[in-house]
Structure 1
Amino acid sequence: MAPHEGIRPMRAIFIRDGNIFTTGFTRMSQRELGLWDPTNFEEPIALLELDTSNGVLLPYYDADANMVYLCGKGDSSIRYFEVTEEPPYVHYLNTFSSKEPQRGMGFMPKRGVDVTKCEIARLYKLLDKKCEPITMTVPRKSDLFQDDLYPDTAGPDPAMEPEEWLDGRNEDPILISMREGYMPAKSRELKVARKNVLDRPTTRRSMSTLDTNSLPPQLLERLLEEIQNLKATVLSQEKRICDLENKLSQYTNGTA
Structure 2
Amino acid sequence: MSRRVVRQSKFRHVFGQAAKADQAYEDIRVSKVTWDSSFCAVNPKFLAIIVEAGGGGAFIVLPLAKTGRVDKNYPLVTGHTAPVLDIDWCPHNDNVIASASDDTTIMVWQIPDYTPMRNITEPIITLEGHSKRVGILSWHPTARNVLLSAGGDNVIIIWNVGTGEVLLSLDDMHPDVIHSVCWNSNGSLLATTCKDKTLRIIDPRKGQVVAERFAAHEGMRPMRAVFTRQGHIFTTGFTRMSQRELGLWDPNNFEEPVALQEMDTSNGVLLPFYDPDSSIVYLCGKGDSSIRFYKLHERKCEPIIMTVPRKSDLFQDDLYPDTPGPEPALEADEWLSGQDAEPVLISLRDGYVPPKHRELRVTKRNILDVRPPSGPRRSQSASDAPLSQHTLETLLEEIKALRERVQAQEQRITALENMLCELVDGTD
Q: Give TM class, smaller chain.
A: 0.5 to 0.7
Amino acid aligned to 2:325: G
Larger of the two Rg values belongs to structure: 1
How far is 1:39 from its partner? 1.3
Residue 240 of structure 2 aligns with which residue?
A: 27
Please give the secondary structure, in 2, of the residue aligned with 1:165. helix
**Structure ranking higher on relative contact order (CA contacts 8 Å, 6+ apart):** 2
Q: 1:156 aligns with which of 305, 326, 347?
A: 326
Q: Which residue of 1 aligns with 2:314?
A: 144
Shift of 1:17: 0.6
Displacement, 1:2?
A: 2.2
Whichever structure has more helix as a proportion of its residues is 1
More strand by share: 2
Contiguous gaps of at least 5 residues in structure 2: 1-213, 353-428
Residue 143 of structure 1: how far off its partner (Å): 2.0
Extract unaligned runs of 5+ from structure 1: 79-104, 106-122, 183-256
**Matches of 1:168 and 1:5 in 2, distance apart?**
36
Equivalent-residue separation in structure 2 for 1:70 and 1:55 (angstroms): 11
Query: Deviations for 1:159-217, whole angstroms, at most 9, x for unmatched residues?
Result: 111221111211010000011218xxxxxxxxxxxxxxxxxxxxxxxxxxxxxxxxxxx
| CA-CA distance at 1:141 after TM superposition | 2.3
Q: Residue 23 of structure 1: SS of its match in structure 2? A: strand
Task: Give 2:260's aligned amino acid.
Answer: L
Structure 2 Cα separation of the partners of residues 176 and 124 of structure 1:
24
Residues 117-163 of structure 1 deviation map (CA, whole Å, 9 limit, x = unaligned): xxxxxx11111100000111111221211112111111011111122
SS at match of 1:179: coil
* Residues 204-256 of structure 1 deviation map (CA, whole Å, 9 limit, x = unaligned): xxxxxxxxxxxxxxxxxxxxxxxxxxxxxxxxxxxxxxxxxxxxxxxxxxxxx
Does residue 72 of structure 1 match 2:293?
A: no
Residue matched to 1:210:
none
**Counterpart mapping for 1:1-256 below 5 A:** 1-78=214-291, 123-181=293-351
SS in 2 for 1:164: helix
- Aligned-pair CA distance for 1:33: 0.4
TM-score, normalised to structure 2, is 0.32
CA distance in structure 2 between the aligned counterparts of 1:14 and 1:62, rounded to whole angstroms: 10
Instruction: State how far apart, in whole Å, the 2-side matches of 1:142 and 1:60 are.
Output: 28
Normalising to structure 1: TM-score of the pair?
A: 0.53
How far did 1:54 drift? 0.4
Counterpart CA distance in 1 for 2:279 and 2:294 is 20
Q: CA deviation at 1:31?
A: 0.3
**Which structure 1 residue ranges, 4+ long, deviate > 3 Å from structure 2?**
none
Tell me the C-alpha RMSD between the 2 structures: 1.6
